[in-house]
Amino acid sequence: MSEALHLKTAEEIAIMREAGRIVAVAHQEMRRAVRPGVTTKELDTLVETIIRDHGAIPAFLGYPKPNSPNYPASICASINNQLVHGIPSARVLKEGDIISIDIGTVYRGYVGDSAWTYAVGEIKPQVQRLLDVTEQALYAGIRASVLPHTIRDVALAVQTYVDKHGYSVAREYTGHGVGKVMHEKGLEVPNWWPRRAQERGWTNHHLQVGMTYAIEPMVIAGRAELRELADQWTVVTRDGSLCAHFEHTIAITADEPMILTLP
């Protein structure tokens, strides 16, 4: 097995479980803190404090990207039609907004990674439906993460659930292997599976005990067409439609998958 597909030992998974627990604690605080009138920078500061108070460091802060500035914050805070990688700022959340908050930690050399989309105050029923479908698509992918399935089975479980409810999945962005680095090379976990997946660099790995990866449905109410903003990080829907993002990091076991990013 190559280093990129390193199968984790029980000891490594225990450390990743603690990294994930810290992420979950931060998300618990986000559930309380997300409200009209708060800024995304205030949320970022709060999460960084929680991560460091638990003996971890923010995985996103300073994260490199080719030909772009390093990521400048501890969370990704993506509002309404922002799909992923929204940079925290002085922007104030308003009643009826939705915000995807992606949080990553590094604890004792291992990464925890989870994202959740939150309602800001009261939201419309159709917006709540988007959040509910995206969250359930995540759990569909988790349920499919069992032996003797493959990555394709996981991807199709997410895609089938989203398609059934009339939404689109983001096709340019995928889940990923997680371990000593945020994105382990050679292990992509897409939210759909095209006929020519190999041309995209995706490998249909058979699941094995000790694999650890993030499943993260990114679901769009409108068309699955995206663009990147001038900050070279924030990704938005081209048609301005709302989108949601839910993510857990899991470990493959001989039985049911272990969700590592729970409290």
User: pLDDT per residue over 92-146, tens digit each?
Assistant: 999 999 999 999 999 999 999 999 999 999 999 999 999 999 999 999 999 999 9
Q: pTM, whole model, 2 decimals?
A: 0.96
Q: Tell me how far apart the alpha carbons of residues 100 and 216 are, in angstroms, rounded to a whole number.
A: 12
How is the chain split into domains, by residue range?
3-259
Residue 1, pLDDT score:
37
Structure tokens at 249: 């990091």
Q: How far apart are CA 35 and CA 21, in angstroms?
A: 23
Domain 3-259 grouped into CATH 3.40.50.150 = no
Question: Which of 219, 155, 204, 214 lies closest to 183 in space, CA to CA?
Answer: 214
pLDDT band at residue 4 under the 50/70/90 scheme = low
Q: Tell me: pLDDT of 223 over 50.
A: yes
CB atoms inside a 10 Å sphere around CB 22: 24
Percent of the chain with pLDDT over 90: 95
